[in-house]
Structure formats: C-alpha cells, structure tokens
Amino acid sequence: MSSIKIQKICCIGAGYVGGPTMSVIADKCPDLEIRVVDINKERIDAWNDSDLNKLPIFEPGLDRIISRTRGRNLFFSTEMEKSISDADMIFISVNTPTKTKGLGAGQASDLSWVEASARQVAKYAKGHTIVIEKSTLPVRTAQAIKEILKTTDKETQKNEISKTFSVLSNPEFLAEGTAINDLEKPDRVLIGGEDSDSIDALVKIYLNWVPYEQIICTNLWSSELSKLAANAFLAQRISSINSISAFCEATGADVQEVAKAIGTDKRIGNQFLSAGPGFGGSCFKKDILNLVYLSGYFGLPEVANYWNQVVVLNTWQQDRIYKIVLEKLFGTVNGKNIAILGFSFKANTNDTRESPAIRISSDLLEEGAILSIYDPKVTFERIEEDFEKFSFNNQGIWKMANSIPEALKNVDAVLILTAWDEFFGLDWNYLASLMRSPAWVFDTRSVVNRQEIDNTGVNLWKLGAVSYTHLRAHETVLDVVCRLLLEKK
C-alpha cells in the first residue's frame, strides 16, 4: 500500500460533479479535510447557505450528506491559493464545454478551465501533490497537464522551492438524479495512472466504502478514453431505441413492448431502453462530439461518421416531436396555449443543459405558441437563460406555472417532456375539464396510461405507440367538437 499519506484534499470546481463527489468522500472519510473551491462566489454562497433547499444542485439525498459533513470536514470556499497549497491531493473538476470558435469548433472540448486550473496548481502547490483529472477530458489531456506542471516545476526549482507532481485520471460515472447512490454504491471506480504509489493512495481512500474488486486500475489513456466510450455507448442506446419508436408509430407496434422484449435478452439488458424526446445533460452530446473530433484527428473518418449519427438522430427525434405537435394541432400553434410539463433534461435533477425541452419549446415559440411551463425544480431564471442561449426568432410568449392545474388552464395541448414522479397517475378527468376542446396530450415519457384518458374527451399521442384520438372515420373537426360537447352534457 502507498507510503503517501493523504490528509487534505482540494477540489477545483463546485459543480454537478465536484460538489456531490466531495460530499460523499467527506461523509465516508471523516478523517480527511476536504475543501471545494470555485471562483464563482454566488455558487459557493449557495453551497454554504443554511437553507439546504437553496443548494445550487438538486440531487436526492445530497442535502442530508451536506447537513452532516459541511463545517465538520467539508468546506466550500473561494480561497483558491490556500486550499491548493495546503492540499496533498487535488481533483480538477471544472467544466469542459464544446468549443464555440476556432479549430474544432462545434466538436472539440474547450480545455481553458482545465489549463487554468493546472497553472494554479503548479503555482500554489507545495511539496508532493497528486493531481487528479475528474472532469471528462479528451484522450491525452493528462499529458498537457503534466507539461504545465513540469514547466512550472523547473521554474520553482530555480527559487529552491521543492515541489513534485503525479497525475491520475479518475473519471466520474454519475447519472444525474441518482448521483448520490452512484457515488455510494458505484458499479466501478476507475483509476488511471503511471505512479503506483499515487494510485494506491487514491485506492486507499475509495476502500473506505468501495470493495477492492470494484476498483479498476489502468494506464492514463485507457482511463480517459473509457469515460468518453461509456457515454457514447449509453447515448447510442438512447438514439437506437428512439429510432425504433418512430418505426413503432409507423407500423402499429408499441415501443415499450419492443423494449421489454429485447431488454430481457441478457446480451442486451434493459438499461437505457426507454424511448423519449432524446438525451440531454452536460456529457452525452459533448462527449460524442469530442469523440467525433478525435476520430477525425487520428484519421478515422468512418468512426467519426458512425458516432456523429448518434447526435444527428437525437436532434431529429426532437424535431420530429415538434412537427407531430404541429400536425395534430391542425398545422399551426400560432396563438394556441400549450402546457409544457417538465423542463429539466431528466427527472430528479434541476439540470437543463442540452434538455430536449429547450429545442422543442423554442421551435413552438417560433411558431407563435403561448407556453405555460411547469417544472418542480427548474427556476424561471434558468429557463430564461436557456432560451436566451438558444437562438430563435421568438414569435410566441411563455410563462412559468406554479402547479400542474395552473399550467393546464385553457390550454389546447399538454406536452410531457420530463418523467417527474408527480406526472404519473394524474386525475385527467379533472385536468381535461380545464383544457379547451378538442385537446391533446403529447406524452414523450410514457407517464400516461391510456385508461386514464378514456372518457375524458382528450386525444392522446404517446411516443412509440399508435395515437389515441376521438376522431372517427369520416368525421370532420367540427363534427368531433360537436360530439364532444354533447358527450359532456
């Protein structure tokens, strides 16, 4: 086992990975002092807020861990220099967005924050420091970090300041919404590196709660690529089942039945086979585009084209849903009221990055729709920021609703885009009475049972299934309106 003794840990970056990860390590390793630092003072203030409902990140169970670790051995701070200089081990857990300009724009990762973090570590660290890549990074990024640390080390030696570094890769495999459980009961912990003492030091930390057989040690490059490959494979499954959902609608099959049938095959498994409006979040699209870019860089155009298609199909699925809404509402949504239920990219998180709701809602706004948006965790400010980033010609208007009934009042249609628990088992008899007739429910997450809609006069479209409509053979729109009015009497 390693002769390196770890007493103090610093994590640069207090985001969706750094905050929860360090919280769990602090909880499982009470003898370690852990400081999470970030230049964003507003975010740090939110982590330190006495009201746990104001934490910058919503994850089930996170508030309980914060309540018992914060101030004990877990601290959130903007004091970058002191936190780095005191640390024996430093995690780099900063954002690595897709580049928006320059070489590789639209595909390659922007490593500006990683480089800046490495330079700060090189400048402020003392003695021997283990530097760990926690952010999702392109293959060979560790080499760049090593070069930065090595160059600065030579400069400090001139001033007779002794400092040494070793670099490890320890990618996260968290699913937002279940991040705490994923951290407490991981499928595996992956550590890549070349220095066995440093690897053992990190292994020793994880052994406080992770069985040894679930810790995988590789070289640096395998570790970095494994993270990109894992996300690419998961996203590919989502795009695959979504392609089948369209096929089901065209042929009369049901995608849930198909997913169950193929998911029972032990060679395939049942995970990530839920059809929906497409994948979102901070990683999938970004990591696949990074893989596409790297494939092209290393002269593998066929590989690049293969993975790029996963992203293409994901965008197509979102466009397809928007066009179906348009078609069912007689070819126009201009001036029509539409309720959007769910804006986060998945349930149990307030993260909206790359959420399908952004593109679909923006397309409806371009057509002049009036949107009433309800999400139990996403704020007005967050949605406003997302719409501002997504360039579109806004012809419609939108507002936030404080409840589901408020969102559905006088709407022509409901579009369910996130599978929040409270969207299951709704009283559609009551909700139908709030809507205008003829009304539609567009269920992209399979949260509505057909029986719940029966006898409500509401039309139901479910992703990957045959539409359930009140239009009968040879019936005109005027006919169905009159019939529904008579049925309600």
| HEC readout, the chain | CCCCCCCEEEEECCCCCHHHHHHHHHHHCCCCEEEEECCCHHHHHHHHCCCHHHCCCCCCCHHHHHHHHECCCEEEECCHHHHHHHCCEEEECCCCCECCCCCCCCCCECCHHHHHHHHHHHHHCCEEEEEEECCCCCCCHHHHHHHHHHHHHHHHHHCCCCEEEEEEECCCCCCCCCHHHHHHCCCCEEEECCCHHHHHHHHHHHCCCCCHHHEEEECHHHHHHHHHHHHHHHHHHHHHHHHHHHHHHHHCCCHHHHHHHHHCCCCCCCCCCCCCCCCCCCCHHHHHHHHHHHHHHCCCHHHHHHHHHHHHHHHHHHHHHHHHHHHHCCCCCCCCEEEEECCCCCCCCCCCCCCHHHHHHHHHHHCCCEEEEECCCCCHHHHHHHHHHCCCCCCCEEEECCCHHHHHCCCCEEEECCCCHHHCCCCHHHHHHHCCCCEEEEECCCCCCHHHHCCCCEEEEECCCCCECCCCCCCCHHHHHHHHHHHHC
Q: How many CA atoms lie within 13 A of 354 on its CB side?
A: 15
- Asked whether the predicted pLDDT for residue 160 surpasses 60, the reply is no
> What would the mean pLDDT of 322-327 be, rounded to a whole number?
96
pLDDT at 47: 97
- Asked whether the predicted pLDDT for residue 361 surpasses 80, the reply is yes
* 8 Å CB contact between 129 and 165: yes
pLDDT at 104: 85
- Asked whether the predicted pLDDT for residue 475 surpasses 50, the reply is no
Q: How large a percentage of the chain has pLDDT more than 70?
A: 92
pLDDT at 143: 85
Question: Using one digit for the tens of pLDDT, what is the confidence trace for 278-294?
Answer: 999 988 999 999 999 99
pLDDT at 488: 52
Question: What does the alpha-carbon distance between residue 33 and residue 275 come to, in Å, rounded to a whole number?
Answer: 43
Q: Lowest mean pLDDT: which of 184-198, 261-275, 339-353, 473-487?
A: 473-487
- Cα 382–Cα 61–Cα 25 angle in degrees, nearest 5: 105
Stronger pLDDT, 58 or 152, i.e. the higher one: 58
- Average pLDDT along the chain: 91
pTM score of the predicted model: 0.86
pLDDT at 158: 55
- Residue 398: what are its φ and ψ, rounded to 5°? -140, 160
Q: How large a percentage of the chain has pLDDT more than 90?
A: 80
pLDDT at 142: 84
Torsion of CA 226, 280, 132, 98, to 10 degrees: 100
pLDDT at 485: 58
Stronger pLDDT, 4 or 410, i.e. the higher one: 410
Torsion of CA 195, 197, 199, 205, to 10 degrees: -160
- Asked whether the predicted pLDDT for residue 325 surpasses 90, the reply is yes
Confidence of residue 96 (pLDDT cuts 50, 70, 90): confident
- Residue 27: what are its φ and ψ, rounded to 5°? -70, -40
Helix axes 255-263, 220-251, angle to 10 degrees: 140
pLDDT at 474: 44
> What would the mean pLDDT of 365-391 be, rounded to a whole number?
93
As annotated, the active-site residues are 283
Question: Using one digit for the tens of pLDDT, what is the confidence trace for 295-307?
Answer: 999 999 999 999 9
- Asked whether the predicted pLDDT for residue 350 surpasses 60, the reply is yes
Question: Using one digit for the tens of pLDDT, what is the confidence trace for 440-457?
Answer: 999 999 999 988 998 899
- Residue 62: what are its φ and ψ, rounded to 5°? -65, -40
* 8 Å CB contact between 462 and 469: no
pLDDT at 473: 41
Question: Using one digit for the tens of pLDDT, what is the confidence trace for 35-64?
Answer: 999 999 999 999 999 999 999 999 999 999
pLDDT at 481: 53
pLDDT at 472: 44
> What would the mean pLDDT of 70-83 be, rounded to a whole number?
97
- Asked whether the predicted pLDDT for residue 471 surpasses 50, the reply is no
> What would the mean pLDDT of 427-445 be, rounded to a whole number?
96
Q: Which of 327, 379, 371, 328 is nearest to 350 (CA)?
A: 379
Q: Which of 280, 272, 274, 284 is nearest to 245 (CA)?
A: 274
- Asked whether the predicted pLDDT for residue 22 surpasses 90, the reply is yes
